[in-house]
Structure 1
Amino acid sequence: MIFYDYEVFKEDWLVVIKDTATQSEAVIVNDSDKLKKFNEVHEDDLWVGYNNNHYDQWIHKSILCDLDPYETSKAIIEQNIPGWKISNLFRRIKMFNYDVMIRGDGGLKSLEGFMGSNIKESDVDFNIQRKLTQTEIDETIKYCRHDVEETMEVFLHRKSDFEAQMALAKLPHDHLELKYLSKTKAQMAAIVLEAKKQSRTDEFDLQFPDNLEINKYTEVLEFYRNPDNRNYSQKLTTMVAGVPHVYGWGGVHGAKEKYIGDGYFINMDVTSLYPSLMIQYGLLSRSIKDPKKFKEIYDTRVKYKHEGNPLQAPLKIVINSTYGAMKDVSNPLYDPRQANLVCLYGQLFLTDLMEKLEPVCEIIQSNTDGVLVKLRNEDDFDLIDDIAWDWEQRTHLSLEFSEFKRVYQKDVNNYVMVGTDGHVKTKGAWLKKLNPLDNDLPIINEALKRFLVDKVPPQQTINDCDDLEQFQQVCKISSKYKTLVHNGEVLNERCVRAYASLDADDGGLFKQKYSTNRLEKFANSPKNCFIYNGQVKGAKTPRKLDRQYYIDMVNDRIRAFGMIPPGEWYQGDLWEHTGGLMM
């Protein structure tokens, strides 16, 4: 396994390569012969990088084909030309690539910021139009080496993804083919299911399931029957079971906003809703050679999951990728009519279920594949269970029950639920469990969760913490912006860590737009902040950290949940007595 990263200038190029087998490093600067010799030895190895599927592999192939890597780099970055289109010569180069980048990443620097690493940029301008000096080359090598090491760190955090992809690459022919490691999950699903690309012109040729029973909320049916609504911009906003719902062509969701409640709640999730609909109602892509293969994969995955067999992971990828691939015009699984039917059936069956449940319980929220209800008393469980069983028999779908005793719900996308067994379920950016690759303002999530679940005042969580990493806000500008500006100085970095400051001499963080040169305050950043881009692991909070800024942020989020933060308006035990509910 080879980890690598290229840096390309007008007159120079270099690559840093780390071989995990020999634990050795190779640094090659402007020496195509040396690179060719290295490649001959390692052409059967797996080359791992960050964004290498899009960029680095094409630089590598350009040099091996005696093409100018700078021109290739410009074509990819400035003209947005896919690397494979640049030259037919690239097809002759055997190279097995694995990219640790996943969709939604903000770039390697953002991940480095989340991981607490040094995110200082190189002092060497990548737009230099002359030969680099030796000092500049040395600096660039140091910078490039750092990125390779950080890529290795990201890989370790995503090792389970790699292992699943490795197992997935074995499925088509029962043996590992490294060429499949550079494929996306959706591409691999098409390969495993032996899909053949076909032209489709019946995207909105829809029908309704015969076993559907909606008698009260017929406006939902009328919305989807109306030909004028058969485009993806159309939505229906309506009340279902006393809850505002939004229906569209991507799913249904509805929730009582700012809802807080104690009692007996049941969350009913449809087991593998979309895969189940595809199997039960023949809604798989019509491009699949043998639909039975999908069911075999599904059944095998269920068996492996119950056994704790790790081979369930690649099968899960195939199952979960198939629906999305049906909307991808470049994927052999492309079949938008079937995808629309899957989504339509799911929404209608969920509405059907809510209509049956409404008379006997309170609907708290619904989402694409489930509904949360509150029982009026625990004796109603058998009644709810009977309704669910009847619905399951009619629809051929299965429901999984989870029991909760307390719910704090800002909206359908942000909530905390405390289970009857004490486990906590959260959803939303404000409450999700963070990790080393998604670690923005962790102290805020922790303080909000501790307050909602355990009634711990935010100031206690924040004032007791002296770990600087917990207060980090990773700020990165997009390609629309030229630079970041702090205290009137243009920063060398495009990605920084910002912290609220008590020092009045610390100004705000701004970004300068290319089109207008105007400065815009970085969204949601402190009015006064200091920047710390060095290694933050183990760093302690300085005295100038403005802890009240973070307390106020948590209190604002508490209010958004419909509660009053502790200490704002009570005497004695009044807040404790009301539990913080908005009166």
Structure 2
Amino acid sequence: MLLFYDAEVFLADWLFVIVNPITKERHVIINDAKKLASFYEQHKDHIWVGYNSRHYDQYILKGILCGFNPHSISKYIIADKKQGWQYSSLFMKIPLYQFDVMTTLHGLKELEGFMGHDIRETTVSFDINRKLTEKEIEEVVHYCTNDVEETMEIFLHRKEEFDTQMALLKAFELPLKYIGKTKAQLAALILKARKMNRDDEFDLILPDTLKIKKYIHVVDWYQNPINHSYEKSLETVVSGVPHTFAWGGLHGARDKYQDEGILVSVDVNSFYPSIMLEYGFLSRNVEDPNLYQQIYNERLRLKSLKDPMQQPYKIVLNATYGAMKHQYNNLYDPRQANNVCVGGQLLLLDLIEQLEPYWTLIQSNTDGLIGKIQQKEELDTIKTICKEWEERTRMKLDYELFYRIFQKDVNNYIIIKEDGSYKSKGGYVKKLNAIDNDLPIVNEALKKYFINKIPVEDTIYSCKDLMQFQKVVKVSSKYSHALHGNKPLSEKTLRVFASRNSDPGVFKVKGNSRVEKIANTPESCFIVNDNVISRRIPRRLDRDWYVNLAKKRLEDFVG
């Protein structure tokens, strides 16, 4: 059973709003520690779901149950920027099946803004140094309830995240108390890792199957102790394309590039897990390396059956590499992580070198390449070379054919198939959704231009939905407040639209005097922080601003 909850804390008051999504019951508990304790005892076997609750709300709840002042805990977490679990060891003794819906850096109000919802905030300041009035309490309860309801909606958009977490616990027979752990933490538990201290971070071991000749200087760069620093990287040209080799991945691309023809995408299947297994680069903290192999094999078996239960196995396999670089995780083993990353880059460089005479390289990234051939018959040659590489390196490749590419750089591109389907990367052309929906009209205009050659003006001037023009911005905690022109605003999350009228811009204030324009916002704009779903466009919307922005982004892609 799930419960959704949120806490609000002031100097002399606190409250919880808790909602049961099945029965629709809403429980509001205000300044009553006994009532909260009673509710907790009756519902401690439920899963408590919140937004950013892993870092904040659960510790307010546990603190009140322990008899602590919740305002002191809140200040410790927010103002002092400390971890809630550090406040008291007693928190560890209070069981709570806690699941946090927050999986990105976006705040709750930003996601509400993306969905087109009302993002106006309570007018009651959290800095009030007295008890709240009844009217103020009533307003805070209203806004706290709204936050819980919004958390429920975001949960539905991210339900796959929750289902995957539950599947992980089920697949590996883990207790429900681990529901709130990160995937990296669960990977460490599943692999029974025990942390060990070592001092061999840059004692690199390279794959013994490498066959690099032309670009041996890249291999030499990694082996030279003078380059054993995460601050260093190698800039070099490989196969006619500028590349960067560093300690976190390989990147190479032709900037501002567009082309049509027979484009071949070659990706290494399950690259990092395969390297860990084939070359012995799994974290040395794992009790039994065979366990990782068993998980890998089971994932392949379930995938071949198209069984959705393959997903938790995939997560463990992929989370392991990231955990090897995290110093607070029991899988932490930076030498092995470097072996995986550097080995992966050099294996890919090996493939680039073998393919170089037979195609034109367009881009390289961490686990794949895109290149162009002149005739379809040449694909057989590409596959023959790739087959030799697969057999030698013990990796597995996947292929896809595309016919058009627009590429700003390695992190921003769209590659299109003949049927109009596409793959894209980067903020300009990524696939948007209800909770990632900023400047959607500009995104759509670019993609329609790239895919169907529709002028950006046609897309922007034909749209009648105001929400498609929204720009959602958030003023961070580094700033005291936002301004619309000279007018101070109580909200820190704003939904702005370009204006044809003489409306001012939006700014943020640091300290008492430093005023900065909020980045990527129009010089003249109006703010609509209430609901904009299905709202028609007012006359003052400046469509030209969006057209010019789309053209600027288009120029960033193709020059």
TM-score bracket, shorter-length normalisation: over 0.9
Distance between the aligned counterparts of 1:422 and 1:305, measured in 2?
27
C-alpha deviations, 1:141-169, integer Å up to 9, x for none? Answer: 00100100011111110000000001112
Partner of 1:568: none
Partner AA of 2:156 in structure 1: L
C-alpha deviations, 1:110-147, integer Å up to 9, x for none? Answer: 11111111100101011101010000000000010010
Deviates more, 1:330-339 or 1:88-97: 88-97
Q: Is the 8 A contact 2:18 2:28 kept in 1?
A: yes
Q: Tell me, yes or no, if structure 1 residue 539 matches structure 2 residue 535.
A: yes
Q: Tell me, yes or no, if structure 1 residue 96 matches structure 2 residue 94.
A: no
Partner of 1:554: 550
Distance between the aligned counterparts of 1:42 and 1:185, measured in 2?
26
Distance between the aligned counterparts of 1:392 and 1:313, measured in 2?
25
Residue in structure 1 matching 2:523, options 527, 539, 542: 527
Partner of 1:199: 197
Distance between the aligned counterparts of 1:91 and 1:364, measured in 2?
52
C-alpha displacement of 1:21: 3.7
Partner AA of 1:352 in structure 2: D
Q: Is the 8 A contact 1:361 1:375 kept in 2?
A: yes
Give runs of aligned pairs for residues 74-85 of structure 1, distance below 5 A.
74-85=75-86
Q: Tell me, yes or no, if structure 1 residue 40 matches structure 2 residue 38.
A: no
Give runs of aligned pairs for residues 249-268 of structure 1, distance below 5 A.
249-268=247-266
Give runs of aligned pairs for residues 393-432 of structure 1, distance below 5 A.
393-432=391-430
Partner AA of 1:351 in structure 2: L
Deviates more, 1:74-83 or 1:112-121: 74-83
Could you list the runs of 5+ residues in structure 2 that have no partner in the other structure?
A: none
Partner AA of 2:30 in structure 1: V
Q: Is the 8 A contact 1:443 1:462 kept in 2?
A: yes
**Structure 2 residue matching 1:561: 3-state secondary structure:** helix
Q: Is the 8 A contact 2:244 2:250 kept in 1?
A: yes
Q: Is the 8 A contact 1:500 1:528 kept in 2?
A: yes
C-alpha deviations, 1:327-358, integer Å up to 9, x for none? Answer: 01110000000000001111101111111111
Give runs of aligned pairs for residues 333-482 of structure 1, distance below 5 A.
333-482=331-480
Partner of 1:575: none
Partner AA of 1:88 in structure 2: S
Partner of 1:19: 20
C-alpha displacement of 1:421: 4.5
C-alpha deviations, 1:279-306, integer Å up to 9, x for none? Answer: 1111100111111111211121122223
Deviates more, 1:413-422 or 1:473-482: 413-422
**Structure 1 residue matching 2:370: 3-state secondary structure:** strand
Partner of 2:215: 217
Give runs of aligned pairs for residues 83-122 of structure 1, distance below 5 A.
83-102=84-103, 104-122=104-122
**Structure 1 residue matching 2:130: 3-state secondary structure:** coil
Partner AA of 2:21 in structure 1: T
Partner of 1:247: 245
**Structure 1 residue matching 2:496: 3-state secondary structure:** strand
Distance between the aligned counterparts of 2:87 and 2:264, measured in 1?
56
Deviates more, 1:226-235 or 1:31-40: 31-40
Residue in structure 2 matching 1:181, options 155, 176, 179: 179
C-alpha displacement of 1:308: 2.3
**Structure 2 residue matching 1:140: 3-state secondary structure:** helix
Q: Is the 8 A contact 1:508 1:528 kept in 2?
A: yes
C-alpha displacement of 1:550: 0.3
Partner AA of 2:8 in structure 1: E
Runs of 4+ in structure 1 deviating by more than 3 angstroms, as ranges, are: none
C-alpha displacement of 1:443: 0.7
Partner of 1:146: 146
Residue in structure 2 matching 1:512, options 509, 512, 535: 509
Partner AA of 1:208 in structure 2: L
C-alpha deviations, 1:221-265, integer Å up to 9, x for none? Answer: 121111010110100000000000000000111011111111111
**Structure 2 residue matching 1:268: 3-state secondary structure:** strand
Q: Is the 8 A contact 2:420 2:451 kept in 1?
A: no
Give the 3 Å change call, closer, same or farther, for CA 416–88 of structure 1 in structure 2: closer
**Structure 2 residue matching 1:342: 3-state secondary structure:** helix
Partner of 1:579: none
Q: Tell me, yes or no, if structure 1 residue 56 matches structure 2 residue 40.
A: no
C-alpha deviations, 1:541-571, integer Å up to 9, x for none? Answer: 11110000000111111111225xxxxxxxx
Could you list the runs of 5+ residues in structure 1 that have no partner in the other structure?
A: 564-583
Partner AA of 2:306 in structure 1: G
C-alpha deviations, 1:331-390, integer Å up to 9, x for none? Answer: 000000000000111110111111111111111111111111111222211211111111
Partner AA of 2:233 in structure 1: K
C-alpha deviations, 1:390-419, integer Å up to 9, x for none? Answer: 111111111111001111111111111112
Q: Is the 8 A contact 1:362 1:376 kept in 2?
A: no
Partner of 1:127: 127
Partner of 2:327: 329
Q: Is the 8 A contact 1:4 1:47 kept in 2?
A: yes
Q: Is the 8 A contact 1:403 1:420 kept in 2?
A: no
Distance between the aligned counterparts of 2:252 and 2:138, measured in 1?
57
**Structure 2 residue matching 1:397: 3-state secondary structure:** coil
Distance between the aligned counterparts of 1:468 and 1:298, measured in 2?
48
Q: Is the 8 A contact 1:171 1:192 kept in 2?
A: no
C-alpha displacement of 1:171: 3.5
Q: Is the 8 A contact 2:485 2:507 kept in 1?
A: no
Partner AA of 2:222 in structure 1: Y
